[in-house]
Amino acid sequence: MKLSRPTPATRNEGLDAWRALLMAAGIFVHGSTLLAPDAVLLFVQTVSHLFRVGTFDALAGYLAAVAIGRHGGVPWLMRRLRQVGVPLVFGMLWICPLIPVLIALGPVERPLPLPFEWHHLWFLAGLLAYSPLAVVLDAADRRWNLAPRLCERYGPEKPRARLFVLMVVVTAASLHEVGAVALRAAVSPDWTERLGNAPLIPGYAPLFAFGFVMARCERLRRRLVTDCRFATAMLALLVLGELGWGWSGWASAALGHGLRATFSALVSAAAPLLVFILVLRSSLLIRTLPLAVRRIADASYTIYLVHFPIIIAINAQLARVAWSPQTKYAIAVTLAAWLGYRFHTHVVKRSAVAAFLFNGRLSNVDPSPRLDRLLQRWEEQAQGAPAMVVAGKRPRLRPSGRLRQ
């Protein structure tokens, strides 16, 4: 059996859009930072914790398999280390130290930060750690036919495919629990609180591997994607169980904190996989993307990097007024999204240095917000006068955004 390796013609814009939207959705999670506890804000945080990051990691594994199939493992890894590593290091050196300064400008008193704070950038640390894993999975697939063997074993019937999903869920939950125990044993309580997201990195590694396998194993992918009713029903039960158990004190008191934590770990591993299956199904229905979605997707990486300090600055100042938490949350989320997008279009897209620091790009070919209209005009001219086009190349752009013939 031949390996099911995606080709350059199989680019799925729906998956790219989902990946960008899941990353930019971090605004809705962090928008409640420094705000008083509220039932609505707690609901948003709980739902996001159940599926957003895990689904993104599974999707990242899928797209990594596609990219490695096109470009090869080592070239992809070198580019990946630059695209994720440079913004991570820049954020650790400049963005994270800025956050306690922004908090100090408000009236809310906070304890002094530790020398190491990674805040929302733990997410990039996980992606960076998964990059070598993708290369290892690709090498194993090439040498031992990993994907075909999994297809033959778990792809023929739906019960076997569901068993494969269950195995991934149990593995992910186990790694998360082991990581949490190791963290509590290795560091002090203060560090444990600030590094609380660290166990999620090994916990989500099986989800990343699951996405990689789904890209390579077409038979298994089709079997799971056509089983959407089961995925939807299980997802609804898990979410309702997590919300009901988390918000009802009698359940935790009756069954104990240990069982409650185990159930939450299983839900945090199962819900992202079920959502990922539904995302794959929905991507089959997406043929083209609106221009607004494309622009948000293009700016999602920058928005994710800069939205947290923006939210901290806004909420620190809103603490001076006696408004409801929902009102402050709406203001913080709206301003953070708008300012993050404007920062991308007016700074990152116009500066090669900013593009390298915030997006890990070595070159910036889109310095003007009017590029879409310029390229459309050039294509219309090329269609009307094909003799003017030299070897089918796109025109070069000056820093001012004008076309050079």
Tens digits of residue pLDDT in 322-361: 899 999 999 999 999 999 999 999 999 999 999 999 999 9
For residue 237, the model assigns a pLDDT of: 87
Residue 166 domain-assigned?
A: yes
Residue 108 domain-assigned?
A: yes
Question: How many CB atoms are closer than 10 A to CB 273?
Answer: 26
Neighbouring residues of 398: CB distance < 8 A, sequence distance ≥ 6: 404
Q: Is the pLDDT of residue 371 over 90?
A: no
C-alpha distances (whole Å) from 207 to each of 137, 167, 172, 178, 278 are 13, 11, 7, 16, 15
For residue 43, the model assigns a pLDDT of: 84
Q: What is the mean pLDDT of the chain?
A: 83
Residue 63 C-alpha from the chain's centroid? 12
Question: Who has greater pLDDT, 376 or 181?
Answer: 181
Q: In the predicted model, what is the mean pLDDT of residues 94-107?
A: 87
Element (H, E) at 358: helix 352-359
Residue 161 domain-assigned?
A: yes
Residue 286 domain-assigned?
A: yes
C-alpha distances (whole Å) from 244 to each of 48, 248, 262, 315, 321 are 16, 6, 15, 29, 33
Q: In the predicted model, what is the mean pLDDT of residues 358-373?
A: 61
Residue 319 domain-assigned?
A: no
Confidence tier at 1 by pLDDT (50, 70, 90): very low
Model confidence over 191-215: pLDDT tens digits? 787 788 899 999 999 999 999 999 9
Model confidence over 13-67: pLDDT tens digits? 788 889 888 988 899 999 998 888 888 888 888 888 888 999 999 999 999 999 9
Q: Indicate the SS3 state at residue 389.
A: coil
Model confidence over 137-176: pLDDT tens digits? 999 999 999 988 999 999 888 899 999 999 999 999 999 9
Helix axes 158-186, 218-225, angle to 10 degrees: 100
Q: Is the pLDDT of residue 275 over 90?
A: yes
Task: Report whether 303 contacts 24 (CB < 8 A).
Answer: yes
Expressed as residue numbers, the domain containing 89 is 37-290
Instruction: List the single range of 245-249, 294-298, 358-362 with lowest mean pLDDT.
Output: 245-249
For residue 194, the model assigns a pLDDT of: 78
Q: In the predicted model, what is the mean pLDDT of residues 242-246?
A: 70
CA distance 53 to 71: 26
What's the pTM? 0.84
Q: Is the pLDDT of residue 280 over 60?
A: yes
For residue 308, the model assigns a pLDDT of: 94
Q: How many domains does the chain have?
A: 1
C-alpha distances (whole Å) from 237 to each of 240, 270, 277, 290 are 5, 11, 16, 33
Q: Is the pLDDT of residue 266 over 60?
A: yes
Q: How many residues does the chain have?
A: 405
Residue 109 domain-assigned?
A: yes
For residue 391, the model assigns a pLDDT of: 37
Residue 220 domain-assigned?
A: yes
Q: Is the pLDDT of residue 370 over 50?
A: no
For residue 369, the model assigns a pLDDT of: 43
Residue 2 domain-assigned?
A: no
